[in-house]
Amino acid sequence: MTIPYINQLGVVKRHIDRADRAIVEQLGQLGSATVHEAMGRVGLLKPYMRPIYAGSQVSGTAVTVLLHPGDNWMMHVAAEQIQPGDIVVAAITADCTDGYFGDLLATSFMARGARALIIDAGVRDVRILKEMGFPVWSKAISAKGTIKATIGSVNIPVLCAGALVHPGDAVIADDDGVVVVPAADAARVAAIACQREALEEEKRVKLAAGVLGLDMYDMRGALAAAGLKYID
Amino acid sequence: MTIPYINQLGVVKRHIDRADRAIVEQLGQLGSATVHEAMGRVGLLKPYMRPIYAGSQVSGTAVTVLLHPGDNWMMHVAAEQIQPGDIVVAAITADCTDGYFGDLLATSFMARGARALIIDAGVRDVRILKEMGFPVWSKAISAKGTIKATIGSVNIPVLCAGALVHPGDAVIADDDGVVVVPAADAARVAAIACQREALEEEKRVKLAAGVLGLDMYDMRGALAAAGLKYID
Amino acid sequence: MTIPYINQLGVVKRHIDRADRAIVEQLGQLGSATVHEAMGRVGLLKPYMRPIYAGSQVSGTAVTVLLHPGDNWMMHVAAEQIQPGDIVVAAITADCTDGYFGDLLATSFMARGARALIIDAGVRDVRILKEMGFPVWSKAISAKGTIKATIGSVNIPVLCAGALVHPGDAVIADDDGVVVVPAADAARVAAIACQREALEEEKRVKLAAGVLGLDMYDMRGALAAAGLKYID
Amino acid sequence: MTIPYINQLGVVKRHIDRADRAIVEQLGQLGSATVHEAMGRVGLLKPYMRPIYAGSQVSGTAVTVLLHPGDNWMMHVAAEQIQPGDIVVAAITADCTDGYFGDLLATSFMARGARALIIDAGVRDVRILKEMGFPVWSKAISAKGTIKATIGSVNIPVLCAGALVHPGDAVIADDDGVVVVPAADAARVAAIACQREALEEEKRVKLAAGVLGLDMYDMRGALAAAGLKYID
Amino acid sequence: MTIPYINQLGVVKRHIDRADRAIVEQLGQLGSATVHEAMGRVGLLKPYMRPIYAGSQVSGTAVTVLLHPGDNWMMHVAAEQIQPGDIVVAAITADCTDGYFGDLLATSFMARGARALIIDAGVRDVRILKEMGFPVWSKAISAKGTIKATIGSVNIPVLCAGALVHPGDAVIADDDGVVVVPAADAARVAAIACQREALEEEKRVKLAAGVLGLDMYDMRGALAAAGLKYID
Amino acid sequence: MTIPYINQLGVVKRHIDRADRAIVEQLGQLGSATVHEAMGRVGLLKPYMRPIYAGSQVSGTAVTVLLHPGDNWMMHVAAEQIQPGDIVVAAITADCTDGYFGDLLATSFMARGARALIIDAGVRDVRILKEMGFPVWSKAISAKGTIKATIGSVNIPVLCAGALVHPGDAVIADDDGVVVVPAADAARVAAIACQREALEEEKRVKLAAGVLGLDMYDMRGALAAAGLKYID
């Protein structure tokens, strides 16, 4: 099967299969780094995607939107498809840093139950967004506004900041970045991530007590075998 | 008429026509995004210009300075031309990230009544600048100092971060970026921006109540006409 | 003498000559901008190196580590070489933004007495690192993890963000950036920097009182000689 | 359905459905710009992907390979899966500019019938590759070699330079860039592109004769309606 | 006077004052580097503007066009304003790498007498453009097409790649870059540039004979005065 | 020992130990990629360093020069230190793309016997440089000229494009990039590189005959051990 992009221009998909709510919550508490490891180190958006303010840690199910450069018309179409617990993931058909999203759209998104916006472009009104407590991960901050002239699509698979996102996928975002987990894999990934997390606490205690990773992970033999030499 | 740059190297213009103080204040309260819209979406500096600390919202009249790479001599010449309510807009003749400005120059600028610095290069002493409450929008932060060897100009038209700035222009800067309004257009732009702002409050209430932009802006017909299709 | 990189792959140097502790403290209090000036404007890492959170000001002696792209194995080897007061300086053999370092390694580094990490790549767990109070200067923030497959070296000279760092060098880092002072030059640089600092306070008072740099530094003659013209 | 990346790490798919050979040839003759238009302006790799030498125009069916940063081991695994008429499309799990490919691998690829390489990283031996007549589109040219330590996958869907590529997709590359057409859509896209091409020749003759696009496309009314004003 | 951008949106100026033809020819023969020096080292477009093929050296008078991101509608409007000897200078209201211009528009521009295109965005059909002998300096090469939806302006002052260009200005472009000379200053700049050029030939002969710049320019004294020391 | 930059500002070292001429020739024939491998994959300048025209392959001994941004004064000082067979390696104390070098300096360098210039900044007159046959590897091409105001140093160790270069080191440059070999290691590296080269020819023949790298390098077992799975 191919991702039939070219059949999906100008399309809004109303019914999507969302990842299980409880699993999504659990992934959100684990955080992007741990989930990304549990995924086998895939699924991460490029690191140029940064939070507009520090300290947020959210998870949700993806409502996707494909926009054109300098045109945010479809943001309003996407708003109607939001259900409580969703995170809007916005991709652009070309590189753009314009401010597609501000406090008015945020008010609307929040009223619909959205938890965050992930956008491979710019946003504005960032001081107000922070006051409203609506977190955004974006490529840029820009006062530059957009027009409403060309249609795109909502809830088709999109490529956002180097990652493929399907509607309904689990999205985990915090200060370290944004990771996407396919809905069908969410439970399995959460299980792996939990296991990983459990081990970390134990390790943390040992390391804090001064035990070296060299010994805790039993690395000295492998390092010597690889040819590492100590000199004075 | 052309901008006679080549007649204006090594020149300091002492008398400039500043945008009306009350209008500049009003523009500052409206913020960069609203003013930029009222301008017809022009006049914005490139989004790589960022505040060195979050939360400032200022406006003022431009005192411009043209500097050479790695040389901040003209900053001292510019200081003398500052009047209370001015914002210094510094352009460089080539790309440069050096730290042209620190706490000493900030002390001098504040003593003269400057409200902010906009510089298409780097600054330093940023922790102290924040403590002093002197806001700066810059391309970079860098401890790298500069020399004082080559003259430039003060209060000539300059190209700063992709925007043309004339001395006396209104400058509005906040967390969303920096916008410049020609002095002669300031009153008209402020009027348009105020109108825009008034409408926004009303919209915000509706959107918060769950009304969709699709309905509030009556977009459904236009979207259908453009070919948008809903599927399940 | 050449820097014999090619003899030093896969090497850990255990005994290094560290810059004098008291001098390093003094340099830390002076800050990166002042020290960089005292160095004759060399020794600064490129300005893309930014703190993961604002407000830290640290100094220490360099423990260097050379890593491969996407591989943090040697971080554990470096941990064992840390002594109280050290700052780990991590260079990568190719451009990379992966998250080489998180809260577990930070726990280990802190237990060993490290004061900070300077890394020409990415880090993760940044919210927790901030809570732990472990400052990092890095090129990127990324949830992307690394593997442990290829050996590098510890305590060899490294090129980090455009600067040459030898083990034992003094490292000064704050919101303005990171500067490196060769161990052998630390005392001399500190003396010059102190002198510079002393003069600054005096200047600050004058500038705050409205004295212009033009007069304080007696620049008017030189500017006129260079051809600067005042017009109305 | 989701793209099950996380089930496909370390996998080589031997049998893939290739786009029809004749259609792929036809698309190649039409060129990337025309095909991209026929796709509805999607399917293009980012413009940082450039040919290592000018003047090539090729098309083929994608054999995909997912590599790790600094590691070209899977290139050899991919070589075995090449059939005459294929183009290898190489994606990397993180940003990397290393030289993954040189004259030896090119010799092997050519012996297998490959027509080109598209790689979101670097290549080397570019002078020899040009002499051999093996075209490459890449992000960088770099003498930096790679290791062979970590497995990736062959013939899974990959994200390459901002585009999703499935094994068997039609790939068209020339001096304007690289475009990917899903195998299932190739015939339809070719038909649209041919139609477009036919119209272009007719237009070219008119424009060369001095007819303006304004008249040929009958734009004057629409421009006036949009508010365009002529002044003297 | 300010550049009244906000009064000039959606405007086409039909009559512009072009720099003197003979002077423009002369500037073209002198080349961008010499002219840029004669200008006092201003007027140069940023170095990311590169020729799509090497070896062209052209000059002409500017017809300017302001376009929106991803929209080349105004290119057709600009075509009508071209007179023989003109160079079209295209600016975009936001950063964009789309392919605004291809062989059809080039055919039209050439039929009108245009000598080149300077565009702060992308172009396509570059192989054909080279065959046609129509030189272009651009920021990018991209097969990505554009739409025709939003009006801009023709023959207003524009900011292109960091330089201010007025309609009628002299434009000089070669492998070293693009420089703009205000129409009113063209004669004076040409005179200075010629003088400079005459001196260069003489210097070239001396340098080829082994005379050092140190002696030819009599630099040894100044270098010693600046503190330069020779050691063994 | 540290690299005593801060003692070496404003210094010209007249006597340097150059790598053996015959060895340097041999390294040049092997090319940058092979030499870089023989070095253990270190010593390469960053891949943004590109030849101004394709097809050159040179080697020589480094004469180093440290310049300030926008200032090429020391180029003339460096010229006097050139001996036949040298390559000038120019580093800048801050990022800069100005055109430091054109046909006049090239004439002087060639008269002194220089083989090439490697510069971490811009050059100009590139069409003439190509005609003269003087190869340059640079970060940028720019018509922007420089001043002669501040002294730097000649024949001190410099950091150029991410590599440490000592005067006298062997420099190898071709279309793949630039690699630096410490003078003391040149013979050993050449020996390793020759061995490597000898093996390559044999491999090339096998690969051209259709033998797979998988078999030639006996990789199948290691791949299976690493977990690679073949599916249909």
SS3 for chain B is CCCCHHHCCCEEECCCCCCCHHHHHHHHHHCHHHHHHHCCCCCECCCCCEECCCCCCEEEEEEEEEEECCECHHHHHHHHHCCCCEEEEEEECCCCCCECCCHHHHHHHHHHCCCEEEEEEEECCHHHHHHHCCCEEEEEECCCCCECCCCCEECCCEEECCEEECCCCEEEEECCEEEEECHHHHHHHHHHHHHHHHHHHHHHHHHHCCCCHHHHCCCHHHHHHCCCEEEC
Among C38-42, E210-214, F220-224, the least confident range: C38-42
Question: pLDDT band for position A7 (50/70/90)?
Answer: low
Q: Which residues of B133-163 are buried (b: 16+ CB within 10 A; e: fewer)?
A: ebbbbbbbbbbbbbbbbbbbbbbbbbbbbbb
Please answer yes or no on whether D177 and E141 come within 8 Å at the CB atom.
yes
Whether the pLDDT of residue A157 is over 90: the answer is yes
3-state DSSP call for residue F201?
A: helix
Question: CA C87, CA C168: separation in Å to the nearest integer?
Answer: 9
Please answer yes or no on whether C94 and D144 come within 8 Å at the CB atom.
yes
Please answer yes or no on whether D42 and A9 come within 8 Å at the CB atom.
yes
Q: Give the model's pLDDT for residue B94.
A: 86
Q: Tell me if A119 sits within 8 A of A100, measured CB to CB.
A: yes
Q: Which of E137, E179, E223, E232 to mutate to test the interface with F (most CBs of F within 10 A)?
A: E223
* Helix (H) or strand (E) segment spanning residue D200: helix D186-208
Give, to the nearest 10 degrees, the angle between helix E103-112 and helix D186-208: 0
How many Cβ atoms from other residues are within 10 Å of residue D215's Cβ?
12
Q: Give the model's pLDDT for residue B1.
A: 29
Whether the pLDDT of residue B2 is over 50: the answer is no
Torsion of CA D206, D212, D213, D216, to 10 degrees: -60
* Closest residue, chain A, to D39 (C-alpha): A6
* Helix (H) or strand (E) segment spanning residue E14: none
Question: CA B207, CA B216: separation in Å to the nearest integer?
Answer: 8
Q: Give the model's pLDDT for residue B6.
A: 55
Whether the pLDDT of residue D42 is over 50: the answer is yes
Asked whether the CA dihedral C28, C30, C36, C38 is positive or negative, the reply is negative
Question: CA B190, CA B24: separation in Å to the nearest integer?
Answer: 8
The residue count for chain F: 232
Whether the pLDDT of residue D2 is over 50: the answer is no
Q: Look up residue C167 and give its DSSP letter.
A: T
What phi and psi, each to the nearest 5 degrees, are found at residue B52? -75, -20
Q: Are chains A and C in contact at 3+ CB pairs closer than 8 Å?
A: yes
Q: For tokens 């604002």, what's the residue?
A: C54
pTM exceeds 0.90, yes or no: yes
Residues of E whose CB is below 8 A from A97:
94-95
As a whole number, mean pLDDT of residues A163-184 equals 97
Question: CA A106, CA A169: separation in Å to the nearest integer?
Answer: 21
Q: Give the model's pLDDT for residue F41.
A: 84
* Helix (H) or strand (E) segment spanning residue C155: none
What phi and psi, each to the nearest 5 degrees, are found at residue B140? -155, 165
Q: Give the model's pLDDT for residue F6.
A: 54
Question: CA A27, CA B29: separation in Å to the nearest integer?
Answer: 41
Mean pLDDT over all residues of chain F? 94
E96 Cβ contact partners less than 8 Å away, ≥ 6 residues apart: A69, A94, A95, A96, E69, E70, E121, E122
Residues of B whose CB is below 8 A from E5:
39, 42-43, 164, 182
- Of D118, D139, D52, D107, nearest in space to F175 by CA: D52
Whether the pLDDT of residue A187 is over 70: the answer is yes
As a whole number, mean pLDDT of residues A46-51 equals 97
| Residues β-bridged to residue D63 | D88
Mean pLDDT over all residues of chain B? 94
F9 Cβ contact partners less than 8 Å away, ≥ 6 residues apart: C40, C42, F151, F152, F153
Q: Give the model's pLDDT for residue B59.
A: 98
Q: Tell me the shortest Cα–Cα distance from F163 to chain C, in angstroms.
A: 7
Contact A42/C at CB under 8 A: no
B212 Cβ contact partners less than 8 Å away, ≥ 6 residues apart: A76, A79, A80, A108
Structure tokens, F64: 């180093």
Torsion of CA C190, C196, C202, C207, to 10 degrees: -130
Q: How far from chain centre, in Å, is Cα F77?
A: 21
Q: Give the model's pLDDT for residue E7.
A: 56
Q: Tell me if B95 sits within 8 A of B179, measured CB to CB.
A: no
* Closest residue, chain D, to F50 (C-alpha): D141
Q: Please list the pLDDT of chain C residue by residue as tens digits (232 residues).
A: 233 445 567 999 999 999 999 999 999 999 999 999 999 888 999 999 999 999 999 999 999 999 998 899 999 999 999 999 999 999 998 889 999 999 999 999 999 999 999 999 999 999 999 999 999 999 999 999 998 988 999 999 999 999 999 999 999 999 999 999 999 999 999 999 999 888 888 999 999 999 999 999 999 999 999 999 999 9
Q: Give the model's pLDDT for residue E41.
A: 84
Q: Which residues of A15-54 are buried (b: 16+ CB within 10 A; e: fewer)?
A: ebebbeeebbebbbebbbbbbbbbbbbbbbbbbebbbbbb
Angle at Cα A94 formed by Cα A89 and Cα A97, nearest 5°?
70
Question: CA A43, CA D94: separation in Å to the nearest integer?
Answer: 11
How many Cβ atoms from other residues are within 10 Å of residue A128's Cβ?
18
Q: Tell me if D77 sits within 8 A of F217, measured CB to CB.
A: no
Q: Tell me if E113 sits within 8 A of E142, measured CB to CB.
A: no
Q: How far from chain centre, in Å, is Cα A8?
A: 23
Q: Give the model's pLDDT for residue D8.
A: 64
Q: Tell me if D29 sits within 8 A of D190, measured CB to CB.
A: no
Torsion of CA D218, D219, D225, D231, to 10 degrees: -120
Q: Look up residue F70 and give its DSSP letter.
A: T
Amino acid at the residue E109: F
* Closest residue, chain D, to E17 (C-alpha): D232
Q: Tell me if D189 sits within 8 A of D181, measured CB to CB.
A: yes
* Closest residue, chain A, to C10 (C-alpha): A228
Alpha helices (runs of H) in chain F, residue ranges in sequence order:
21-30, 32-38, 73-81, 103-112, 126-132, 186-208, 213-216, 220-225
- Of B120, B153, B124, B152, nearest in space to B137 by CA: B120
Contact D203/A at CB under 8 A: no
CB contacts < 8 A, B to F, total 33
* Closest residue, chain F, to C91 (C-alpha): F162
Structure tokens, F156: 């001190």
3-state DSSP call for residue D23?
A: helix
Please answer yes or no on whether A95 and E95 come within 8 Å at the CB atom.
yes
The CA-to-CA distance between both ends of chain D, in Å, stands at: 60
Amino acid at the residue F82: I
Question: CA B153, CA B157: separation in Å to the nearest integer?
Answer: 10
Q: How far from chain centre, in Å, is Cα E75?
A: 18
Question: CA E61, CA E118: separation in Å to the nearest integer?
Answer: 12
Question: pLDDT band for position F149 (50/70/90)?
Answer: confident
Please answer yes or no on whether A39 and D169 come within 8 Å at the CB atom.
no
How many Cβ atoms from other residues are within 10 Å of residue D130's Cβ?
19
| Kind of pairing between the strands at A116-123 and A86-92 | parallel
Residues of F whose CB is below 8 A from D127:
54-55, 57, 174-176
| Residues β-bridged to residue D165 | D158
Residues of E whose CB is below 8 A from F110:
208
- Return residues 164-193 of B near E (CB < 8 Å): 164, 166, 169, 182-185, 189
Q: Which of C9, C66, C67, C71 to mutate to test the interface with D (most CBs of D within 10 A)?
A: C71
Question: pLDDT band for position A6 (50/70/90)?
Answer: low
Whether the pLDDT of residue E146 is over 50: the answer is yes
Contact C226/F at CB under 8 A: no
Residues of F whose CB is below 8 A from B97:
94-95
CB contacts < 8 A, D to F, total 108
Question: For chain A, what is the radius of gyration of the CA atoms?
Answer: 20
Q: Give the model's pLDDT for residue C49.
A: 98
| In E20-75, beta strands by DSSP E | 50-51, 58-67
- Of B130, F71, D177, B54, nearest in space to A130 by CA: B54
- Return residues 107-146 of E near D (CB < 8 Å): 107-108, 110-112, 122, 124-127, 140-145
Structure tokens, E224: 């010693």
Q: Give the model's pLDDT for residue E8.
A: 64
Please answer yes or no on whether A164 and D164 come within 8 Å at the CB atom.
yes
Question: CA D27, CA D172: separation in Å to the nearest integer?
Answer: 7
